Chains A and B, each alone.
Chain A
Amino acid sequence: MELHRTNYDLIGKPTRRVDGELKVTGRARYAAEYPAPDLLYGVIVSATVPVGRIKTLDTKRAAALPGVVRIFTHENVRSAAWLDRKWRDEVAPPGHPFRPLHSDRILFDGQPIALVVSDSFEVARDAASLVRAEYELGDHCTELEMKRTDAYDPPEKRSGIPPPPSPRGDAEEAFERSPCRISSEYRINAEHHNPMELFGTTCVFEAPGKLTIYEKTQGSHNSQGYVTSVFGLKSRNVKVINHYVGGAFGSALRPQQQLFFAVMASLELERSVRVVLTRSQMFYIGHRPDTYHAIALAADETGRLTSIMHDAVAATSHYEDYQEAIVNWSGMLYHCDNVKLSYSLAKLDTATPCDMRAPGAAVGVNAIECAIDELCHEVGIDPLQFREINFASKDENTGKQFTSKALMSCYRDGASAIGWPKRSPMPRSQKDGHELIGFGMATGTWEASLMKATAQAKLTSDGRLEVSTAASDIGTGTWTILAQIGADALGLPLESVTPRIGDSTLPASPVEGGSWTAASNGSAVLAACEAVKQTLFKYAKTMTNSPLADADYERTVFAGGRIAHDGDHARSLSIDEVMHAADLSEIVESGKASPSLLQMRKYTSYTHSAVFAEVRVDEDLGVVRIPKIVCAAAAGRIINPKTARSQILGGVVMGIGMALHEEAMTDHRMGKIMNHNLAEYHVPAHADISDIEVIFVDEADDKVSPLGVKGLGEIGIVGTAAAVANAIFNATGRRVRDFPITLDKLITETE
């Protein structure tokens, strides 16, 4: 479905966020900011050991504090649902979902073991610090390296995650007979999402069994489904609101601890309850798993790839088999006849990992793109030229065609923007003062998905349009693009459109993830608006003395609040005239989006990018600076270049974090993460970020989604860390295969 006879007035135009003013003035309310009468405050007590059983849980001192209302532990909490499947949310991996306060068993450090509830937050916090647990310790292991030999192919596959493709050709044999070969191992340390907004839930107790829940989530329907399933409540009695979400990066895809606790306490105490996690507690709700990548690549003397082998081992928890597509990308980034990929899991005594921006691709593509750079160096070929030579014109994992792939334009425009010819092929050959200068590049890719989504459009006789869908805006710009789409569909100014999202009572939507929201919810809104237009046209045609009586819908233009035949003002009616004549105060229609199965048999859709980095490395001190990064992306139609650019900027910054800063530092003796705060878990600071240039190349795609949109939430991070690492190699001649590349790994003994 194309937009019917519109000029894309607002779609494609840089547009300020419609929710921007609310946010900068503090009027946009987040989950933990909603007031409620007689609100109680819950503070979670976390376990301090990774494995074992709670021997004793002493709550006496805590309970004695004036103002403490109740302390919930595994010993006194009323049981929630018993069946595993009742705890499985929309995006749960295979396994046994974690059930807070289910028993005395400790599965990971930081596991919640009690909830202290008080009528003041301060008292609850003080009391929580007085709860004392004694444990019977079990053996633990939090170190992936120790468990690699035990890695296994997950027996049950996670829904939506394709397992590695079957081998093609004979990768081993091709490797052996090829003149140019590299074989290396990469490790990417675990990362934590750390969105700015703390995880919070305000559960408003309306009546027994009836709740309104203000919740930090990437999917109001997912949280609603979890609550009704776990606590046996009726859907119509549980409303989940997530109007604004202060970042999430995947950490709010699954319902988190605070939701369970706020709802449980609210139902038991028949009062409204708020629970907010601390920054430290947010280190135990899921993370990007630690991964090892064994990669072997081969090419002929001209730089043609002859063999690709990529084996990845990723960490998961003991209770769930969290999975992501890590190695699949290695089989489809380039043309190669001999490919062998494998992916296995190893169980550690931690919380289950969870999706974090470009899950799988961020690490898998990073590793393979560094290895490709090694191979280019081995062959003695320019990395850009290598990528052009080995361009894959179809998805060789599946044999399907791409709906579009303007990656060549990304290579060309990105190389031009960074000034790629400035790069010297010889590592360690460019210097300015104390600093070695280098350039590096990488390819990025991410799937362009269309998910089932529904929407509603309501046009009122005053010419205002309301578009509704239970989508979430985690900072991505969803509020704004839905308004743009609605406005263009009906030819209205942006101010006449009111988007409604972040509410489980609105038409069903999947979680906001996978970069699919713009395409899926956008298309559903478009479909609903299309239905409104058709209804409106029907009334216009049948009006007495209608100038549009014999008009053809296909030749009708909706613009400036009017419906005109062939854009002829003389043969037009205003929306108000039509609705007034039909005695209508409003027109309400529904719309939906879903993938075309027929098309999916023949085509696959991906977003692509080329990332180029310039780095400067202090030769003596190992300090890295990144004066410039260019990310050129081919992502179909860009609805809002302004918010789209922001998405890429954020992704690139996170990629810089992966390259240089971010890592969980674990004391494996204790099985504990030690840098669980924002002072010691380093993400890039302003000083680490210089010029980031975002380029969107033209990419027309009439198949990927009705709007031609591919989505942008993840692509910015994919390839960025590899581009930086490759630039560091070019600058220093040092190949660091253990991420992040902290300065100690770059201090060379040159003195």
Chain B
Amino acid sequence: MNRFEYVRADTIADAIAALAQSAEARVLAGGTNLVDLMKYDVAKPSRVVDINRLPLKEVADTENGGLKIGALVSNSDLAWHPQIVKRFPLLASAILAGASPQLRNAATTGGNLLQRTRCYYFYDSSTPCNKRTPGSGCGAIGGVNRIHAIFGASESCIAVHPSDMCIALAALDAEVEVEGVKGRRLIPFEQFHRLPETTPERDNTLEQGDLVTAVILPATDFGSHHTYLKIRDRLSYAFALVSVAVGMTMEDGVIADLRLAMGGVAHKPWRNKVLEKTLHGAEVNKASFRHFAEEALRGAKGQGQNDFKIALARRTIVRALTQAARGTPQDQSDKTFR
């Protein structure tokens, strides 16, 4: 861990100013990822801007019937918030599928969006990694890549985004509220994270001086038909090999609306909105789900050790669609798969 300047921001404007001055400044919220990365010499910020005193800890109703979640609401508080439990159980489930109670107590909503990949090479500063050290190469291509991407990878980077919460937020069509030097703006969730292309060092579309202040959920909640199904190398406390978030509405036994996002497969939550529409009006049956899963994995490409993810993702989609349609979502406490 390097020496750094510590700044505690008392207002959002102070935080933005402190961040805007240096490209090497980083925000400290829960610290569950940043402090780790600093100890591994992966993150070496010149300045750490502590935002924990900012008034961003509220969950409030929006005019459109949705919810606005402050960036500093902890993962635990969010997962157990009565409004989330009641109206957005998909989000609650995804949050509880991740990390451990202790980590969720410390981790924040904004921080969760900014989690960095768990790629082994990214974490080991003695190996090449374009995300950590641009231009140094990608160690994972041709290397240990069991946990890596099957969609959207580039020759520069095959890392995946690690968050569970973000997969649900992608399915829910959330928006990210950002304040920056040019004022406030809303970023649609699918435009928040990005693919690696030739600049994998950039995980998202934030600019220097930007601060995530809130996540906004639209009114559509998928309270009855949803699931977050996470498949991993042990039953708890492991990142997803593949996860699937499904939100569905049903009318007269027919699928009226469907959202499906995949985690563990790409540099960002992976959705195919065109394909989702093909199930609108479809009856619930295994054949249509299997066909959907086939199509959903079209174009997927393994890297060797992670080739199994393609078959695994197909099966996970079929199971997740079945769980959502039946209204028997994945239970994150007993870990059994229905």
Q: Which residues of A approach B to under 8 Å, CB–CB?
A: 48, 122, 125-126, 129, 433-435, 618, 620-623, 625, 660-661, 665-667, 669-670, 672, 674-677, 679-680, 682, 684-688, 742-744, 747, 749, 751
Contact = CB atoms under 8 A, between A and B. Distances in A.
Nearest to A435: B337
Q: How large is the interface on B (under 10, 10 to 19, 20 to 34, 35 or more residues)?
A: 35 or more
A672 B126 contact: yes
Given A125-B1, A661-B233, A670-B139, A621 B315 contact: yes
A666 B318 CA distance: 33
A621 B312 contact: yes
A581 B241 CA distance: 76
B2 A686 contact: no
B337 A621 contact: yes
A106 to B, nearest CB: 12
Interface in B234-276: 234-239, 241
Contacts of A680: 118, 120
Which of A625, A660, A685 has the most chain B CB atoms closer than 10 A to its own CB?
Answer: A685
Given A665-B120, A688-B235, A744-B308, 7 more contacts: A126-B2, A621-B315, A665-B144, A667-B127, A670-B127, A743-B312, A747-B311
B156 interface: no
Contact of A621 (B126, B319, B335): B319
Contacts of B3: 126
B233 A621 contact: no
A747 B2 contact: no
Contacts of A743: 231, 233, 241, 312
A191 B330 CA distance: 32
Contacts of B201: none
Interface hub of B234, B239, B335 (most chain A Cβ within 10 A): B234
Contacts of B41: 129
Nearest to A676: B124
Interface string B165-188: 000000000000000000000000
B123 A621 contact: no
B222 interface: no
A620 B317 CA distance: 11
B146 interface: yes
Contacts of A672: 124, 126-127
B327 interface: no
Contact of B1 (A122, A665, A670, A682): A122
B257 to A, nearest CB: 26
B228 interface: no
A666 B118 CA distance: 16
Contacts of B144: 665-667, 674-675
B36 to A, nearest CB: 9
Interface string B296-338: 0000000000001001101110110000000000000001111
Per DSSP, chain B at the interface is loop
A539 to B, nearest CB: 58
A736 to B, nearest CB: 13
A621 B317 CA distance: 11
B134 interface: no
A685 B231 contact: no
Nearest to B308: A744
B55 interface: no
12 contacts: A126-B1, A126-B3, A435-B337, A618-B337, A620-B319, A621-B312, A625-B336, A665-B144, A672-B127, A685-B236, A743-B241, A747-B308
B121 interface: yes
A621 B233 CA distance: 11
Contact of A674 (B143, B233, B239, B311): B143
A661 B146 CA distance: 14
Nearest to B3: A126
A373 to B, nearest CB: 24
Nearest to B312: A747
B175 to A, nearest CB: 30
A675 B1 CA distance: 20
Contacts of B121: 674
B231 A751 contact: no
Contacts of A661: 233-234
Nearest to B293: A751
Given A129-B2, A672-B124, A677-B123, A622 B233 contact: no
Nearest to A46: B126
B290 interface: yes
Contacts of A687: 234-237, 335
A620 B143 contact: no
Contacts of A670: 127, 139, 143
B1 A625 contact: no
Interface string B1-45: 111000000000000000000000000000000000000010000
Contacts of B65: none
B312 A686 contact: no
Nearest to A683: B234
A674 B143 CA distance: 9
A674 B121 CA distance: 7
Q: Which 5 interchain pairs have the tightest Cβ spacing? A: A48-B126, A687-B236, A687-B235, A744-B308, A674-B120
A337 B175 CA distance: 73
B316 A621 contact: yes
Nearest to A749: B311
B233 A679 contact: no
Given A674-B143, A747-B308, A621 B234 contact: no
Nearest to B241: A743
Given A126-B1, A621-B231, A674-B121, A669 B315 contact: no
B120 A623 contact: no
B235 A685 contact: yes
A434 B337 contact: yes
Contact of A620 (B127, B139, B318): B318
A556 B119 CA distance: 70
Contacts of B236: 685-688
A122 B308 CA distance: 43
Contacts of A618: 337
Contact of A679 (B118, B231, B290, B312): B118
Contact of A623 (B118, B231, B239): B231
Contacts of B124: 672, 674, 676
A667 B233 contact: no
A433 B123 CA distance: 40
Contact of A747 (B234, B315, B336): B315
Contacts of B308: 744, 747
A122 B35 CA distance: 13
B25 to A, nearest CB: 18
- Of the candidates B1, B2, B120, the one having the most CB atoms from chain A within 10 angstroms of its own CB is B120
A87 to B, nearest CB: 27
A48 B142 CA distance: 19
Contact of B312 (A48, A122, A660, A744): A744
Given A125-B1, A660-B234, A675 B337 contact: no
Given A620-B318, A667-B144, A677-B123, A684 B312 contact: no
A129 B37 CA distance: 13
Which one of A125, A126, A621, A625 has the greatest number of beta carbons of chain B within 10 Å?
A: A621
A160 B139 CA distance: 42
A434 B286 CA distance: 14
B48 to A, nearest CB: 14
Contacts of B231: 621, 623, 743
Nearest to A123: B3
Contacts of A744: 146, 308, 312
Contacts of B335: 625, 687
Contact of B234 (A434, A688, A749): A688
A49 B238 CA distance: 28
